[in-house]
Amino acid sequence: MAADIIATVRVSNSLDLSVHPDPIPCGKRPDHDMDIQWHIETKGWKFMPNGIVFKDNDDGTFHDPQPGDSDFHWTNDNHNKRLYHYTVNVISTDGKTTLTYDPAIENRGDQLGS
């Protein structure tokens, strides 16, 4: 299945980790759960096994994680209109350096009454 949304993960020469876009905008929910893919664009880096971790997924909006070295997927049911915070964890391919970044996802939900 092709991703509905692709976010780009980059590591700068000064070892700053970033995600574009941030926050990830998830518009009105389509007729299916949305697949969000994070892709590491910078060579020499990969996701850790806990590459994408949600801080406030208390309502179960994000499910079915699919970890990988350069791509990490989560399924988003996008029913609720709210901001979700998460953490990105990457490691250099030589295993010597880890980086963490805390971006967000902005769900527009079903937008009932909107």
What is the mean pLDDT, run by run of 10 residues, along the chain of 114 residues? 91 97 89 94 98 95 97 94 96 98 93 47
Q: How many domains does the chain have?
A: 1
Q: What is the pLDDT of residue 111?
A: 59
Question: Can you tell me the distance from the alpha carbon of 31 to that of 86, in angstroms, rounded to the nearest whole number?
Answer: 25
Residue 51 belongs to a domain with what CATH number? 2.60.40.420
Residue 112 lies in a domain: no
> What is the C-alpha end-to-end distance of the chain, expressed in Å?
30
90 in a structural domain: yes
One-letter identity of residue 62: F
CB 5 within 8 A of CB 37: yes
* Spatial separation of the C-alpha atoms in residues 57 and 32, rounded to whole Å: 19
Look up the domain containing 81 and give its range: 5-107
Q: Which two tokens stand for residue 8?
A: 């780009």
Which residues face 54 on adjacent strands?
86
| pLDDT at residue number 113 | 39
In a domain, 15, yes or no: yes
pTM: 0.93
